[in-house]
Structure 1
Amino acid sequence: MLAFQDVTYAHPNKDVLFSGLHFTVNRGEKIALIGPNGAGKSTLLRLMAGELQPLSGNIRQDEPPYYIPQHFGQFDHLTVGEALRAGERLHALREILSGNVTDARMAALDDDWTIEERCREALAHWHLAGLPLDLRLAALSGGQKTRVFLAGILVNQPAFLLLDEPGNHLDAAGRALLRELIAGWRQTLVLVSHDATLLRLLPEVFELGKKGITVYGGGFDFYKEQKAIEQDALRQDLHSREKALRKARETEREAMERKAKMDARGRKKQDKSNVPTIVLNTLRNNAEKSAASLKKAHAEKMDGIAEEVNRLRKEMPDIDKMKLNVDDSALHKGKVLLTAQALNIRFGERLLWPEGLDFQIRSGDRTAIRGGNGSGKTTLIRLLLGELEPSEGTLQRADFRAVYIDQDYSYLDGGLTVYEQAQRHNPGALEEHEVKMRLNRFLFGPEDWNKPSSGLSGGERMRLLLCVLNIGTKAPDMIILDEPTNNLDMQNVEILTAAINGYDGTLLVVSHDGEFLASLGMTGEIAL
């Protein structure tokens, strides 16, 4: 069992990430941990794993969990055996078998004489048969690294498992093995993922948000239904408050107009009477004070309603505002953009694809590029963009403008601030206040404009990229998405999907996420 009691965590700079967390993970529970980017899901897993300590509160656990974090190259110095968490035992076994027997090595091995065999079996299960146990992770692809870490589960057979976005970098075959692992897991499990197919395998959902942990006990689809009900209630509440605000403003206007008319009639009567000037001044001062008091009372009422309206608006960002509101591509539908015949490329003496590729892409097509890790998807994109030349076959390219969007959103310049990034893509048609209005529409307020783009989260970089495409006003003829959902939470995947579905041009998408592809309405496929 794992219990959090009134736990508060603060970053090293003293900024509090979350406070007062109360929840329990019971033995055998399988939980999906979800929440927006920046809520602290990965930090929460590290607290569960004991890698971080809370600022205050208590964390109680019966046994340490087996934690598999997201990897961004920070583990490249490890060997495969160390990543399997078997490095010390493997070293001890080899030394003992070589005749170097010591009490320390026997203690390190702990009678685990089958450790090397189990490591090789686990790697073979994850389609990594023959991978040297002393090889550095730096020599592996992202998908291979993920498989190595997941293979460690089979090697160590933990009773409590923490997984942070384990589907990132995996191809279709790897994702199938991951689904099999999670569906068949009978011990305690906490999973952070944006992949709905994985989340649906778990019976319970914990949502981490501004209010702490909210528990939904009916699975992921039940969670989505409840969130839809909550958002509908929020929407109705917001509509009601906005209506009340408009009514309050109208009431204030009418009250001030009545007061002004009454004061005007009073002044006319006073002017016709023989009231002394000093008395007239007193009456007029009293009238002005009365008007000011009335205006203040109405202002206080409206301020309260306006504050509530702003709070509700912040709780429910308007995804519809973040569509690609750009001019349609100038290319007519059906124009042939790319034609490949027996297309192939050579690396050394080896051709990348066993058979050359034949396909045609027309303006307006939505085409998925599918293939396993190492099948050459990125190489194909570079060929299509004209960055590489084919070694065999032909590739005919029409004149078109393409924007390539990878999972790190490197289309953006990390050396620029958010505002500088927006201005860089402004062709001069927009004034400064209009650029800032576009940034606000994509949830970048004044407090964000001077932030360096390199410090933004994956979801923030995605929103900024959509924003600069909007600022450009002229739509690209083709958008190429290369695993765009890898570093996004569910809300940002929804934003990206809504934005791309508002795009009228040609779309090429590399993704192992079948649900994401289905939501984009793909019309064709290139299989590698």
Structure 2
Amino acid sequence: MIVLQQLSYAHPDKHALFTNINFTVNTSERLALVGNNGSGKSTLLHIIAGNLQASGGHITIASQPYLVPQTFGQYNHLTVAAALGISEKLHALQQILDGHTDAVYFDQLQDDWTIAERAEAALAAWGLSVSDLQQPMEALSGGQKTKVFLAGIAIHKPALILMDEPTNHLDAQSREHLYRFIETCKATLLIVSHDRKLLNLMPAICELTTGNIQYYGGNYEHYLQQKQLEQDALQQDIHSHEKALRKAREKERESVERQQKRDARGKAKQEKAGVAKIMMNTLRNNAENSTAKTKDAHAEKVQSIGKELQQLRDHLPAIDKMKFDFTDASLHKGKILCSATAVNVAYSGKFLWPEALSFQISSGERIALKGGNGSGKTTLIQLILGLKQPDTGALSRAAFNHVYIDQEYALLENGLTVYEQAQAFNTGALQEHEIKTRLNRFLFTRGDWDKTCGMLSGGERMRLLLCCLNIGRQAPEMIVLDEPTNNLDISNVEILSQAIQEYRGTLVLVSHDEAFAKSIGTDREIILESGSS
């Protein structure tokens, strides 16, 4: 179905994303593609879909692929029908039904007389209306945009389906619908995802790196087990090299000391024996050369082992290289931060929630806000943070500082460099070298300090924001996470999860990622239902 041979791709600035990839996807096979942020997963899907040209190599595809893309507004200028690639057919069908018999309409329709019925049924299956076909994509929410492209599968009935983070933005009900489809799908599937529940439905996992795609038979849990075995072997190899390096350094020191003692004894004997001065100089030079050779030989061995050790350490997971140092929030556990009685918000004269909300948030709680797309989760966050006032009911708030972290990590300023952004959080008057040390701890090395934040991937933005929070004198009293894992790969989700586990303040989470919510220990839920608006 798909055969990639020596496939390479480089950015316009000549930076190689991946090189000499060899990969095969067989007919009716279902594969998940994982890899670190920036490894090129989405790019590879777009090359297979025909939207990008590879820099080198060959690609063979047995049938026309259908791509369910990540949506970031790139389709906003199109109508739903145009985004689905069916506007021309629908127009031609309507013209024929209206009595126009021009041959051009029949050519455009291509005997696809059921296109309208299929479109209506496909959209309805994902909770969308056929009336949505002519509205612009920009009028839709993120979840609705994803549903449009998922509906396109039933419309086009492709034999090869590519999906790029399909569960991003989907509410819980729509995710379950997608999971059922994946379990029963007979087409060839290649899916990029960090959704662990979805990945556990896949019979095989493939990991993309710079120069390879490694195949792992079995679902994500099996993949993790295999990766753990690899990491255990790597750690054992690292310990072995560390031990060898210590021995080599000790042997180097002992050899140099022995040589120096021999030289000293030889000199003393020569002086006692009355050896001529010119001969003494010759013997001294010979001794120094011998010592230098001994030292160089050991230094070369030490350097070789050290280089091998560093190469091994470079393969360690990022989470093992980091150190988190969140300070405790200042509010006492249990203090009431926000209290609401029968609150509601009106849009266009209609209330957002069918029943007014009453709730209380105390310091130290970990709360998950749940609800379908359009249920008002963002509005509720605005109420909690004092950014919006309710139209009915009573709302009281204590004074507290907070950090709002969304899926784009927009708290970072795209025009600032990595170092400048870190300095902007430096409320504790840290010295320059201390800031750079912390940046290094979060994997931002010297070559990254002058990059602008706008150049960073989702995972890099997340790591930089965590670093900035560590640089700040005190952790915020409340952290609000709004779909924070949507643009993160699995390893970066784990990094974020560990950081949040160490945070001791109040947490409010909006996420459809059940595994992430469980990992950070949310202890209660506020469930929202959509109103008539």
- Normalising by the residue count of structure 1, what TM-score does the alignment of the two structures yield? 0.97
- The amino acid across from 1:359 in the alignment is F
1:428 to partner: Cα distance:
4.1
Equivalent positions of 1:217-256 (< 5 A) are 217-256=217-256
- The amino acid across from 2:336 in the alignment is V
Equivalent positions of 1:374-523 (< 5 A) are 374-523=374-523
Q: Deviations over 1:120-172 (max 9, x none)?
A: 11111101125331111011111111111111111111111000111111111
Percent identity, aligned pairs only, is 56
Q: Deviations over 1:44-86 (max 9, x none)?
A: 1112112223222211121121112211100111111112221
Query: Residue 88 of structure 2 aligns with which residue?
Result: 88
Does the aligned pair in 2 maintain the 1:367–1:524 contact within 8 Å? Answer: yes
Query: Residue 206 of structure 1 aligns with which residue?
Result: 206
- The amino acid across from 1:444 in the alignment is F
Question: Quick one: distance in 2 between partners of 1:516 and 1:229?
Answer: 23
1:458 to partner: Cα distance:
0.2
Does the aligned pair in 1 maintain the 2:459–2:489 contact within 8 Å? Answer: yes
Distance change in 2, residues 1:130/1:91 (3 Å): closer
Distance change in 2, residues 1:188/1:35 (3 Å): same
> What is the SS of the residue equivalent to 2:414?
coil
**Worse-superposed segment, 226-235 or 324-333:** 324-333
1:289 to partner: Cα distance:
1.3
1:423 to partner: Cα distance:
1.1
- The amino acid across from 1:202 in the alignment is M
Equivalent positions of 1:91-490 (< 5 A) are 91-322=91-322, 324-490=324-490
Query: Residue 76 of structure 2 aligns with which residue?
Result: 76
Question: Quick one: distance in 1 between partners of 2:358 and 2:262?
Answer: 84
- The amino acid across from 1:515 in the alignment is A
Does the aligned pair in 1 maintain the 2:326–2:502 contact within 8 Å? Answer: no
Question: Quick one: distance in 2 between partners of 1:257 and 1:341?
Answer: 80
- The amino acid across from 2:250 in the alignment is E
Question: Quick one: distance in 2 between partners of 1:202 and 1:131?
Answer: 34
Question: Quick one: distance in 1 between partners of 2:167 and 2:415?
Answer: 30
- The amino acid across from 1:235 in the alignment is Q
Distance change in 2, residues 1:82/1:430 (3 Å): same
- The amino acid across from 1:78 in the alignment is L
> What is the SS of the residue equivalent to 2:133?
coil
1:467 to partner: Cα distance:
0.5
- The amino acid across from 2:287 in the alignment is A
Query: Residue 16 of structure 1 aligns with which residue?
Result: 16
1:385 to partner: Cα distance:
1.0
1:522 to partner: Cα distance:
0.8
1:227 to partner: Cα distance:
0.4
C-alpha RMSD of matched pairs (Å): 1.4
- The amino acid across from 2:343 in the alignment is L
- The amino acid across from 1:142 in the alignment is G
Q: Deviations over 1:346-387 (max 9, x none)?
A: 223112111111111111111101111111111111111111
Question: Quick one: distance in 2 between partners of 1:53 and 1:320?
Answer: 36
Question: Quick one: distance in 1 between partners of 2:131 and 2:417?
Answer: 43
1:98 to partner: Cα distance:
2.3
Question: Quick one: distance in 2 between partners of 1:43 and 1:321?
Answer: 28
Unpaired runs of 5+ residues, structure 1, are none
Q: Deviations over 1:205-238 (max 9, x none)?
A: 1111134011111222211110010011111111
Q: Deviations over 1:282-326 (max 9, x none)?
A: 122112211211111111111111111111111113515535412
> What is the SS of the residue equivalent to 2:207?
strand
Distance change in 2, residues 1:364/1:323 (3 Å): farther
Question: Quick one: distance in 2 between partners of 1:409 and 1:487?
Answer: 10
Does the aligned pair in 1 maintain the 2:343–2:356 contact within 8 Å? Answer: yes
Matched, 1:4 2:7: no
Question: Quick one: distance in 1 between partners of 2:27 and 2:224?
Answer: 25
Does the aligned pair in 1 maintain the 2:328–2:475 contact within 8 Å? Answer: yes
Question: Quick one: distance in 2 between partners of 1:434 and 1:132?
Answer: 54
Does the aligned pair in 2 maintain the 1:324–1:500 contact within 8 Å? Answer: no
- The amino acid across from 2:450 in the alignment is N
Aligned residues: 528
1:473 to partner: Cα distance:
3.6
Question: Quick one: distance in 2 between partners of 1:473 and 1:322?
Answer: 19
